[in-house]
Amino acid sequence: MSAEPVIPGFHPDPSICRAGDDYYLACSSFEYFPGVPLFHSRDLVHWRQIGNVLDRPGQLRLPAGMPSSGGIYAPTLRYHDGRFWLIVTNASEGGGNLVVTATDPAGPWSDPVWAPGVPGIDPDLAWDEDGTCWCTVAGVSQLRIDPVTGQTYDTPRPVWSGAPGAKAPEAPHLYRIGAYWYLLIAEGGTERGHAVSIARSRTPDGPFEPCPANPVLTHRGTDHPVQNTGHADLVEGPDGSWWMVFLGVRPRGGTPGWHVLGRETFLAPVTWVDGWPVVGEVAPDPSALPWPLAPGPAEEPRDDFDDPGLRPYWISVRDRPAEHVTTGERPGWLTLRARGGSLDAPDVVFTGRRQQHHACRARTLVDASEGRGGLAVRLDERHHYAIEASGTRVRVIARIGDVRAVVAEREVPAGPLVLAVAIADPPPPHGPCTGPDVVSLGVEEPDGTFSELAALDGRYLSTEVTGGFTGRVIGMYAAHGCVRFDWFDYLPDDRART
């Protein structure tokens, strides 16, 4: 049974659209800046991040002190009338629903148009034949909107709430496919009960008739390696076949299973039977696809911070003001300047990338002669492991909920130093109490060997423990003063089981 996501790591709530031969996909980003990672593909299985939709403060302001898993929820991305449209919720204080547009999805995207009349989260946009734009939101309710101005018409009208009694009907997407309007939703909550259901109507505003085979996708109650499947979007493939992208997780270890990479984006084929979609095998074998694969260039494992800006995969917590995060101050280095809090604070100065492989290794060359900071595996402000340098001292810090402890310390020679994190399977024997992985933190010796300071159980950096909607991010931070990083590299470790 294949279990490979098409976009691994914390990339949930995928929304997809097609423009000619090109496909684009957007995901949620929560407390991270820039927001809404945007991917491009030609074959639906190989995706390359080409930017972030909300990449400047005028588009994305996350309030000081906002906790993890607030911020940017569940976008809908559509191509309509020669333009790309994205509607999304900023769920934090001072936010709401906003629409941005672009002619090139790599950017720039417009300033936001706010739509205060759109109630709740997970907004969708769909245009009917006479140009009316329908906005459907979690709940599930609907109203008409002018997406150019944000003006809404009508009071929101309930249209369908999925299976009677099922919690959290959300993530609606409305499409005209053939003779029907289809309303696709998620239900059951984004955890193990997650599912995708569908209803149809002859008109965009209903009445909607539920599919007798609902849910059309769920893995609840199964031991499929991909769990929590839901929050889907539909798209037509290059050959006219239909496909579904959706989020799923890959729990590992013993009971109950812990997922550490967040909610990832998966792909499955869809066939139509009696006007209803039938979802095929999750994570199909890419070599069996009926069109040529277009893998694109492999991502470079190392960033030397020689470019004027940061690559699109780098994300910071809440914002990224130049006075705190810059590559210009010491050319070829990333300079992080602390602003009060360390990793425990919601406004930590942190810049990282998503952990995308179960077994991997990350390293960075740090100069901590003017401050204190280092390399962290971050799930949220209450759950992280870090190796931190300050002058000639390094220490490993673990924060697990209410408990924070220095678990190892040692002296190092003066001067820049390589900090390293290696993440791998726990050693056998594996039993019901085995965690998902082991996070090992240490320093690299001048001869290149890794000296471990601590090896920590990875379950405490899993979403089953922390709650919330994100996944692990590995990156650099400044806890005090000014900390500089010459390079950072990230490599999947193919020697370990994935």
Contacts to ligand 6LW by CB under 6 A:
12-13, 28, 73-74, 121-122, 170-171, 186, 190, 230-231, 247, 469
CA–CA separation, 476 and 352 (whole Å): 6
Instruction: Give the CA distances from residue 35 to residues 32, 95, 165, 338, 348, in Å, rounded to whole numbers and listed in that order.
Output: 6, 14, 34, 22, 17
Catalytic: which of 4, 122, 170, 367? 170
Give the strand order in the sheet containing 141-145: 124-127, 133-137, 141-145, 152-158
For residues 4 and 122, which CB has a smaller minimum distance to ligand 6LW in the complex?
122
DSSP-derived secondary structure letter, 92? S
Residue 170: CB minimum distance to ligand 6LW, A: 4
Contacts of 204 (CB under 8 A, 6+ apart): 126, 128, 132, 134, 174, 176, 181
Structure tokens given for 144:
């008409």
Q: Residue of minimal CB distance from ligand 6LW?
A: 190
For residues 74 and 216, which CB has a smaller minimum distance to ligand 6LW in the complex?
74
Residue 109: CB minimum distance to ligand 6LW, A: 20
For residues 187 and 437, which CB has a smaller minimum distance to ligand 6LW in the complex?
187
Residue 191: CB minimum distance to ligand 6LW, A: 9
DSSP 426-484: PPSPP-TT--S-EEEEEEE-TTS-EEEEEEEEGGGGSHHHH-SS---EEEEEEEEEEEE
Residue 389: CB minimum distance to ligand 6LW, A: 35
CA–CA separation, 346 and 351 (whole Å): 13
Catalytic (active site) residue 170:
yes
For residues 13 and 437, which CB has a smaller minimum distance to ligand 6LW in the complex?
13
Residue 126: CB minimum distance to ligand 6LW, A: 17
DSSP 21-36: TEEEEE---BTEESEE
For residues 250 and 363, which CB has a smaller minimum distance to ligand 6LW in the complex?
250
Residue 138: CB minimum distance to ligand 6LW, A: 6
CA–CA separation, 299 and 221 (whole Å): 37
Do the beta carbons of residue 228 and residue 192 sit within 8 Å?
yes
- φ, ψ at 460 (rounded to 5°): -75, -10
For residues 73 and 350, which CB has a smaller minimum distance to ligand 6LW in the complex?
73
Do the beta carbons of residue 277 and residue 271 sit within 8 Å?
yes
Catalytic: which of 4, 13, 264, 464? 13
Catalytic (active site) residue 13:
yes
Q: Catalytic positions, please?
A: 13, 170
